[in-house]
Chains A and B, each alone.
Chain A
Amino acid sequence: MKINVLFFASVREIVGINAKEVDIQDSENSPHKLLNFLVKSEQGSWVSLHKDKHLIRLAINQELSDWNDLLKDGDELAFFPPITGG
């Protein structure tokens, strides 16, 4: 299945891109598993991102979500640091 992954703020600077379409197996159906897949298949900056995983927040289809929430084909997944607006 295909997941459209977006990156914001300091997370975008770590990975060096704004967005990426990731094609994963149906069994890799959580943000946690998707990041593990990227670490294994591409390494590079995904390793740094994985190391800082506890500092990263995420959203699935623009709703704040957790690392073990379920992903489905066509979902939009975003990784970003803790929010600092206002």
Chain B
Amino acid sequence: MTVCIQEDVFNVEKIISNIRKNKSSIGAIVSFIGYVREFNKSKKTKKLLQMDLEHYPGMTEKALNKIELNAKSKWQLEDVYIIHRIGKLKPTEAIVAVVVASEHRKNAFEACEFIIDFLKTDAPFWKKEISDQQIESWVQGREEDYKKKETWNFHKE
């Protein structure tokens, strides 16, 4: 299991080949990758120039490790890799990747969705958008993300 927070660009192919190294029991790998959108459909007039990503060092790692452990307790998994970028990102760049390996596909599909759903509400990252007009605005939290998390019917420890 790995949690990684970094400014640098990441390579999902490399992550997958690292996970598969010496692990012949892996039969399925599911990956989710989140990207920076250039246009936000809900804000029609804005074109994004840059996205600034801030986090709470220490708490972020703890929160992501906890999410990984919770996923491992719910599904039988061979490996989990969460990588999240911070700092200045340009439109179309990848922000986050969740890569889950398991023996059979069902566990990997479900655990990957579970991890990104909890990351959205429990891992302390914040996004600030800078438009091509140099207007800065903090991205607002989405109620749908909380509703989506609730669908897991997960009991807080």
Contact = CB atoms under 8 A, between A and B. Distances in A.
Interface of A: 6, 8-10, 59, 62-64, 78, 80-86
B96 A83 contact: no
A82 B140 contact: yes
Contact of B62 (A9, A62, A81): A62
Interface of B: 34, 53-56, 58-59, 62-63, 84, 95-96, 116, 119-128, 138-142
Looking at chain B's contact residues, the main secondary structure is mixed
Given A10-B138, A62-B62, A81 B56 contact: no
9 contacts: A59-B124, A62-B56, A80-B126, A81-B138, A83-B124, A83-B125, A84-B142, A85-B119, A86-B34
B126 A62 contact: no
* A6, A62, A64, most chain B CB atoms within 10 A: A62
A81 B125 CA distance: 10
A86 B122 CA distance: 11
B138 A9 contact: yes
Contact of A85 (B53, B58, B128, B140): B53
Contact of B125 (A6, A62, A78, A85): A85
A21 B128 CA distance: 27
Given A8-B124, A8-B126, A62-B62, A84 B55 contact: no
B114 to A, nearest CB: 13
Contacts of A82: 140-141
